[in-house]
Chain A
Amino acid sequence: MRSNTFKILLLGVAFMGAGALAASAGTLDDVKAKGFVQCGVNGTGLAGFGAPDDAGNWKGLDVDACRAVAAAVFGDPAKVKFTGLSAKERFTALQSKEIDMLARNSTNTMSRDTQLGITFTGVNYYDGQGFMVKKSLGVSSAKDLNGASVCVQSGTTTELNLADYFKSNGLTFNAVVFEKQEEADAAYDAGRCDAYTTDASGLYSIRLKMTNPDDSIVLPEIISKEPLGPAVRQGDDQWESIVRWSHYAMLIAEEFGVTQANVDEMKTSENPEVQRLLGIGEGVDFGTPIGLTKDWAYNIIKGVGNYGESFERNVGEGSPLKIARGLNALWSKGGLQYAPPIR
């Protein structure tokens, strides 16, 4: 049997094991006791979001979300261990406490948020599903794909959006479903399918891996909303707040121009927003109430940088993907990224 199935089986057995789990899980206490955050990321490697680089260091937007939490808790972004997970394993791994948080380009949907015993803490990347086709087909719109074979990865919202899109447009298709993304990539590359579908961000990184990237084009249609974000177990409000506000802190830092490079100078800033963010001044302490220290956000920015820096480094201009900010720009710049104020 496949090792994935076996893993899920093990997780199942973990549920059957002796003694009921403690009802109110103190994830923060557990994390502090073991000395690191165990974070679930993309196990097959999705460039820009979660993948090891040539030196074996994990890099990506999701990886930064994990490091930010580690920085907030320990003041050190390196105190994190990564668990590579497939699409199939990810939620079970979180449910069964194999990991403390999940940041694996996972779409927040109602059923996932309400029925799996997990909670999404925010959106670190607004994505949408698109199609990639071979140029030689002469197709310029997804509406021309009637009767096409489409390669897709199993167990994703992608698989369902694909079906919904074709159905609502009265088109027929044949889905060729693969368990792993690389297998779907290879089958598309070998000509098994006319089209390939996944989140638009993924399409660009997958296109680069093709034998001849220039033979494929990404179609303009975006057929779904894919708000990707980190998730934690339900019922631990403190830990949920920590993960949620780690992301907000990075957004607020970008909004007020606090960067990894200038965060120490910013400590002397007169701006009360920046002072509250960095925990400067008498009685300014937003960290202790959630089990952290007053300089929790300073540690995040010092260790990981603000959201804009993380974006550019991993998926933006500073990366091979060169994805524009688009929906992921700050609200003040026409995007959707918006953080409530720290007060």
Chain B
Amino acid sequence: MTLRDKTADDSPRSLVRAVLYDATIRGWVFQGLVLVFLILFAVWVMHNTAANLRAANIPFGFDFLNMRAGFDISQKPIYYTLDSSHAQAFKVGLLNTIIVSVLGIVLATIIGFVVGISRLSSNWLLARAATVYVETLRNIPLLLQLLFWYKAVLSVLPGPRQGYMLPLSTNLSNRGLTMPRPIVGEGFEIVLWVVPVAVVLAWALARWARRRQVATGQSFPVFRASLGIVVGLPLIVFLALGAPLSFEIPELKGFNFVGGMVVHPELIAMLLGISLYTATFIAETVRAGILAVSTGQSEAAFSLGLRPGQTMRLIVVPQAMRVIIPPLTSQYLNLTKNSSLALAIGYPDLVAVFAGSTLNITGHAIEVIAITMAVYLALSLITAALMNWFNARVALVER
């Protein structure tokens, strides 16, 4: 039977045929079948696991999260005591992972862009230095680098009693960087509220400046003006309120500094290791992105009278970003996942605290590892989603 007959013939039998051979319906049916099999498989795996655990007399469940943890964590960004629960320990570990990842991403991006652009510099020394840095650090395993930096940080710095006194009551020793801790006074939250207002104002200003430039061709120093607004406005409000902020100065008592804030040497070593390592890959990505922009673009910009800095900022980088962002996303994901190496140098990240201490104390290996994997998956998916959104914004819009 040919296709033409199908439209002409309305008998029930040919209707069935039409449904059977319809590409859309067939697609849905098969995808549905695959989905059902996947769900059945998952149920089977879970049931089998539960049955095996029961056979081996191992309890399964998540009640252990509410049990008292009873161990100490060196870096506590939120409230945590020995009497806190494993769930609270989980949050501390998660926050520590996020802290090292976010700071690492910021540092790696800055270093990566500087080094990547330096490799293309016409300055021979600068370009060669950048090349040597990239080729050395990206070819040494990260774990070794972390151990090296940790050892280096601990060996170079003296004990807390002989620590280097820095300005502003800051002290650097092998117990970390000890700083005064800000204590928020009355009315300080108003200052915090002013910050988003200033950001919105700066954004509006940038919009206005762009419109004016499009309309009249006159440029406006947007960057300096925005910076002035974002920093200046909260500062004025802060001073107007009578500077409601005091500091707790750390004091050397007994073995260590008491009071104040501490950046532990583990975090310092982690940041050094992970950002210097990831920056090498980002540098190569940036270099590739810039080289991908045809030289004709720069030449055209120069002939229009743009200065080299402006050419880079207005012509080359926006086009290079389209090439840079997708691999940059991968580097951010790598960095987040690599932060799990922290446990080698005693930094209390999620793997060290939750998949380490909690796992061992409670013995719930499967539950703990499942939660930990889910967290890394979620962190990576969030990072990827943000970067994809950013990518969509800078992507070439084809008309």
**B-contact bits for A185-200, CB 8 A (1 contact / 0 none):** 0110011101000000
Q: What's the least CB distance linking A226 to chain B, in Å?
A: 15
**B contact residues around A309 at 8 Å (CB):** none
- Residue with the greatest number of chain A CB neighbours at <10 A, chosen from B150, B151, B337, B357: B357
Question: A1 near B340 (CB under 8 angstroms)?
Answer: yes
Asked whether A163 is an interface residue with its Cβ less than 8 Å from the other chain, the reply is yes
Q: A154-B360, A163-B70 are in contact. Are A9 and B369 (CB under 8 A)?
A: yes
Question: A190 near B351 (CB under 8 angstroms)?
Answer: no
Asked whether A23 is an interface residue with its Cβ less than 8 Å from the other chain, the reply is yes
Using a CB–CB cutoff of 8 Å, the interface residues on chain A facing chain B are: 1-2, 5, 8-9, 11-12, 15-21, 23, 87-88, 91-92, 95, 111-112, 115-117, 137, 145-149, 151, 154-156, 159-160, 162-164, 167, 173-180, 183-184, 186-187, 190-192, 194, 233-235
Question: A15 near B49 (CB under 8 angstroms)?
Answer: yes
Question: B337 near A21 (CB under 8 angstroms)?
Answer: no
User: Can you name 7 A-B residue pairings with CB atoms under 8 Å?
Assistant: A2-B340, A2-B343, A5-B351, A95-B56, A137-B255, A147-B256, A190-B151
Question: A160 near B74 (CB under 8 angstroms)?
Answer: no
Q: What's the least CB distance linking A321 to chain B, in Å?
A: 26
**A contact residues around B345 at 8 Å (CB):** 178, 183
Once bound together, how far apart are the Cα atoms of A116 and B70, in whole Å? 19
Q: B366: which of A12, A19, A235 is its contact (CB, 8 Å)?
A: A12
**A contact residues around B348 at 8 Å (CB):** 177
Q: A155-B361, A190-B151 are in contact. Are A233 and B49 (CB under 8 A)?
A: no
Question: A191 near B351 (CB under 8 angstroms)?
Answer: no
Q: How big is chain B's contact interface, by range? A: 35 or more
**A-contact bits for B353-389, CB 8 A (1 contact / 0 none):** 1011101110101100110100000000000000000
Once bound together, how far apart are the Cα atoms of A87 and B355, in whole Å? 12
**A contact residues around B361 at 8 Å (CB):** 155, 159-160
Q: B356: which of A23, A179, A192 is its contact (CB, 8 Å)?
A: A179
**A contact residues around B51 at 8 Å (CB):** 20
The main secondary structure of chain A at its interface with chain B is mixed
Asked whether B344 is an interface residue with its Cβ less than 8 Å from the other chain, the reply is yes
Question: B74 near A190 (CB under 8 angstroms)?
Answer: no
Question: B154 near A163 (CB under 8 angstroms)?
Answer: no
Using a CB–CB cutoff of 8 Å, the interface residues on chain B facing chain A are: 45, 48-49, 51-53, 55-59, 70-74, 82, 150-151, 154-155, 159, 174-175, 253-256, 258, 265-266, 337, 340-341, 343-346, 348, 351-353, 355-357, 359-361, 363, 365-366, 369-370, 372
Nearest 10 pairs of A and B residues by beta carbon:
A155-B360, A175-B72, A117-B57, A190-B154, A117-B58, A147-B254, A154-B356, A116-B363, A16-B49, A178-B346
Q: B359: which of A1, A23, A155 is its contact (CB, 8 Å)?
A: A155
Question: A15 near B53 (CB under 8 angstroms)?
Answer: yes
Known: A2-B351, A177-B73. 19 other contacts (CB 8 A): A15-B56, A15-B366, A88-B359, A95-B58, A111-B363, A115-B59, A117-B58, A137-B255, A148-B254, A148-B256, A149-B74, A151-B346, A154-B343, A159-B361, A163-B72, A178-B345, A186-B151, A190-B154, A233-B56
Q: What's the least CB distance linking A297 to chain B, in Å?
A: 30
Name A91's closest neighbour in chain B (CB-CB): B363
